[in-house]
């Protein structure tokens, strides 16, 4: 089990951040290697994610459901997927909440998630998880901040 507890600080107001995070298409544009398919009748989206573990690249096909609570600016993403060779399976639940930054201006995104990995590449995924999560969080934050800055300028 991989646990991720992150706080992402962004220099935009909570409503602007929530607007992006509550739109799956906008979020996917902020995640390098991610793709978004169609919303299915069961409420799940089809999705894909290319993840780099050092020199290795693993493509996951996934399905996820997004549950949003607009009044509290919080949500839950439930996902499951497998790699393109079928040897590794992932199940994850991520909870997030947008709050006003303690330092006055801007926002903080609070993230808590649990990821279960099983199968052939599970040891590789688990051993590299902290580095990969750190890199992906940094890239996501940079893209989110750029997107919010562009929206504010428009």
The predicted structure's pLDDT at residue 154:
60
Mean pLDDT calculated for residue range 141-145: 92
What's the residue count for the chain? 154
The predicted structure's pLDDT at residue 121:
67
The tens digit of pLDDT for each residue in 31-72 reads 988 999 999 999 999 999 988 777 778 888 999 999 999 999
Check whether 125 has a pLDDT greater than 70.
no
The tens digit of pLDDT for each residue in 83-92 reads 887 678 889 9
Q: pTM score, two decimals?
A: 0.85
Domains of the chain: 2-153 (3.30.530.20)
* Inter-CA distances, 85 with 36, 45, 63, 80, Å: 20, 21, 16, 15
Q: How far apart are alpha carbons 132 and 82 in whole angstroms? A: 17
Between 80 and 58, where is the model more confident? 80
Q: Work out the number of other CB atoms within 10 angstroms of the CB of residue 64.
A: 19
pLDDT bin (cut points 50, 70, 90) of residue 143 is: very high
Mean pLDDT calculated for residue range 18-34: 93
Q: How far apart are alpha carbons 126 and 118 in whole angstroms? A: 10
Q: What is the SS3 assignment for 53? A: strand
Interacting residues of 56 by C-beta distance below 8 A, sequence separation 6+: 124
Q: Are 30 and 20 in contact (CB under 8 A)?
A: yes
Mean pLDDT of the chain: 88
DSSP summary character for residue 12: S
Between 115 and 56, where is the model more confident? 115
């Amino acid at each position: 089990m991989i646990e991720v507890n992150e706080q992402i600080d962004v220099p935009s107001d909570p409503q602007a951040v929530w607007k992006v995070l509550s739109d799956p298409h906008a979020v996917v544009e902020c995640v390098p290697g991610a793709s978004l398919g169609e919303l299915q009748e069961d409420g799940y989206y089809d999705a894909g994610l290319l993840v780099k573990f050092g020199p290795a690249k693993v493509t996951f096909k996934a399905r996820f459901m997004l549950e949003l609570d607009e009044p509290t600016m919080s949500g839950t993403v439930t996902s499951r997927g497998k790699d393109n060779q079928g040897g590794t399976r992932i199940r994850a639940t991520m909870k997030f909440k947008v709050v006003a930054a303690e330092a006055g201006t801007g926002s903080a995104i609070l993230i808590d998630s649990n990821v279960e990995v099983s199968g052939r590449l599970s040891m590789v995924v688990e051993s590299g998880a902290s580095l990969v999560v750190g890199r992906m969080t940094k890239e996501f934050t940079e893209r989110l901040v750029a997107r919010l800055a562009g929206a504010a300028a428009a």
